[in-house]
Amino acid sequence: MLRSWIPRILLGGFYAYMIAIAATYEGILDVRQRIDGLIFLGICAALWLLIRWWRGWKWHANPLDLAMLLWIAAFALSLITNFEDWRRIAIGLWFMAAYMLGYYILNDLLANRGLARWAALDALLIGGLVVMMTGWLQIFVSLQAGGGVPRPVGTLGNPNTLAAVLVALLPAIFMRAMQSRVKLNRIGLLVYFALVLALLIATYSRGAWIGAAAGLAFCGLWLLHNRGWSLRRAKSAYQQLSGGRKALVIAAGLTVFIALMSGAIFIVYSLSFAGRSADLRTFIYETAIQMFAEKPAFGHGIFTFGGGLARLNPTPPTAPHSHAHNLPLQIAAELGLLGLAALAAMIYLSIRAARRNMQSDSGSAAGAAAAAGGAVIAISVHHFFDLPAMNPAVMLAAILVLAALVAPIPPVAIVVVKRGWLRGAVFIGAGLALFISGLFGAFRYRDYWAALTGDLAAKNWVAIANSLEPVAANDPAFAPYYQQQGLALSIAAMEGDETVLPRAIHAFEQFTRLAPQYASGWASLAALYAEVGQIEDAAIALRRLAVLSAPLLLNWRETGAAYGEYDPDNPVAAEDPGYAVQQNINYIQWLHLAFPRTFAPQTTLPLPDAVWTEFDNNS
């Protein structure tokens, strides 16, 4: 008994640590947690290699091998055809490679009987306890403070991201409870299920609600089919019930029907709520379709959707987003037809493997595969309405349930790959490359973090800019370094040190050269040019700004400030915290932002009339 729980505890502890700390946004943004998490992953991978060598495990083929090859081809060709954006794309490729390696490690554990299928799902439930309890604690604290029921975020920093993990938990908990033969265990699991379901409702993530309903419906239908139920048998069983029990069955059915219909009506009605309406998504979907039309074959490269959105939409007034809130559209925009082919192959191969597993004679393993199938369906449906898989914690949950779904039953039926040593060498080499590159990136990020925060408390803006010089020199293709340097120097200039203005201009020139699609860079550059009297250059920057965000340009002209409201007595403090463009630009969302906005403070000032005259004369 204890021996069977050791893998559950170890994998559950691993997932709990990842979902609570290392794989969260905070775990990636905090430099110490980021390095610790990477080292922890390296140690876990090394232990896996040691165990498989000690026990003489063999390498096996995987049902999704063909799909994985198509994904690799899509990633490679999108990079080659968009090499000018290689630095941005490289961030996404590192994570994709890490996810693939994690998937294969889990499948290797399942194929070699180092991990039972239910043990993998139990690890999900163990880690989910941390997220669930944290979410309820947030609700409790808010209620105690008289603040009402908030949208909880758990450990994940966002209610939609929390919901994505919860929808994976619900089918697994439900199936675990239905297959449990111990009454006390079943009661405990049903309580867990109720708490997770209530927390999911509190997240107000409508796409997750639909996903959860789809996943649970699948599990319910599988249970009925597996137990030999049919419409005829159900009708016969109903007719044999007493009158009181028939009334209870009818009442239960009506309750479920009313609950589902009420939920559907509420979801439709909620589309008219301020801040939750459908038009907040439609322009994002249209952008993804337009990006796909621009480069249909191989797309624009992974992790580039946010830049495309800023290029094709005026930002502001539209808010920046890093993803299309729809997985197929995201893939179409970033990876093109080849990426969609990889997705289609993955869906087909997963369904084929899942069908084989759930028809297996092994009841417990087939039940685990059905639970994993419900979780995969729930996550997949959710990702037609949102894309919380941008968070690594969500991807870890998806990898866990996908591996438990497709790993063949029984393991001995897997065809052993010839020349297994070659596959082993590929995995070991890829793992080492990922670890070394990840560690290198983490230490470089540490230098960036130190440059931003070292003199921040003292508000020594010039020292911050100086510290960013070697960081940018070591990574000259990464635009955010120049943006942050330009901001620091702009603040120093606003505080009286006008000698730094040429350096601030140079920094924003570099930023706009590397990231020309962001209106914030051109607005900052126009304001800085105006500060030093370069009227013609300021007008040129305004023309670039007009292409990207005409409403922003108009607001600047009419109110005297591109950002917030102009206050002649305190122009630096004149900023609107709710202004959309203050959000960090898409491909630096993994970086810690020391400054609250992306505009230089000079954009809170009116531009000289000469700049507008030059702009009008040459427009």
- CATH number reported for the structural domain that contains residue 524 in this entry: 1.25.40.10
Could you read off the pLDDT of 373-429 as tens digits, one per residue? 999 999 999 999 999 998 999 999 999 999 999 988 765 444 455 556 677 788 889
pLDDT given at position 612: 92
pLDDT at 560 over 70: yes
| DSSP string across 292-359 | HHHSTTT-S-TT-HHHHHHHHS-TTTSPP-SS-SSHHHHHHHHHHHHHHHHHHHHHHHHHHHHHHHHT
pLDDT of residue 180: 84
pLDDT, average across residues 190-215: 94
Model pLDDT for residues 472-501, shown as the tens digit of each residue: 999 999 988 999 899 899 999 988 999 999
Please report whether residue 438 resides in a domain: no
Asked if the bond preceding 410 is cis, omega within 30° of 0, the reply is yes
Domain hosting residue 51, numbered range: 2-432
Domain match, 428 and 525 both: no
Residues 389 and 500 in one domain: no
Angle between helices 117-144 and 2-17 (to 10 degrees): 50
- Are both 361 and 498 inside the same structural domain? no
**Could you tell me which of 329, 370, 319 has the C-alpha nearest to residue 551?**
319
Span 90-116, pLDDT tens digits: 999 999 999 999 999 999 998 888 888
pLDDT at 254 over 70: yes
Residue-level pLDDT at 411:
56
Mean pLDDT, the chain, rounded, equals 85
| pLDDT of the residue at 586 | 35
pLDDT of the residue at 564: 61
Question: What confidence tier does 317 reach under pLDDT thresholds 50, 70, 90?
Answer: confident
- Look at 64-78, 132-146, 238-252, 503-517 and tell me which has the smallest mean pLDDT: 238-252
The reply to whether 66 and 193 lie within a common domain is yes
Predicted confidence at residue 414, as pLDDT, reads: 45
Q: 499 and 363 in one domain?
A: no
The answer to whether the CB of 535 falls within 8 A of the CB of 610 is yes
pLDDT tens-digit readout, 27-57: 887 888 889 999 999 999 999 999 888 988 8
Per-residue pLDDT tens digits for 61-70: 889 999 999 9
Helix 550-559 vs helix 519-531: crossing angle, to nearest 10: 40
**How many domains does one find in the chain?**
2
More confident residue, 604 or 379: 379
Taking a C-beta distance cutoff of 8 angstroms, is the pair 132, 84 a contact?
A: no
Extract the tokens encoding 100: 């693939």
Asked whether residue 383 falls in the same domain as residue 338, the answer is: yes
Shared domain check, 414 and 466: no
First to last CA, the chain: 78
Cα distances from 10 to residues 18, 44, 49, 53, 397, in angstroms, run: 12, 10, 16, 19, 16
Residue 587 scores a pLDDT above 50: no
Q: Quick one: 420 and 521 in the same domain?
A: no
- Check residue 10 and give its pLDDT: 84
**Would residue 214 count as lying in a domain?**
yes
Between 538 and 619, whose confidence is greater?
Answer: 538
Q: Are residues 355 and 273 in the same domain?
A: yes
With CA atoms as reference, report the closest residue to 90 among 478, 376, 423, 388.
478
Q: What is the pTM of this model?
A: 0.89
Q: Which residue has the higher pLDDT, 227 or 169?
A: 169
192, part of any domain = yes
Q: Are residues 502 and 533 in the same domain?
A: yes
| pLDDT higher than threshold 60 for residue 277 | no
Same domain assignment for residues 386 and 488: no
Question: Of 373, 399, 432, which residue sits at a domain end?
Answer: 432
Confidence of residue 194 (pLDDT cuts 50, 70, 90): very high
- Domain contains 441: no
Q: Is 550 a residue whose pLDDT tops 50? A: yes
Residue 449 reports pLDDT greater than 90:
no
In a domain, 66, yes or no: yes
* 446 part of a folded domain: no
Q: Are residues 373 and 503 in the same domain?
A: no
- Return the pLDDT at 456: 74
CA–CA distances in Å: residue 142 to residues 65, 134, 148, 162, 500: 47, 12, 6, 17, 46
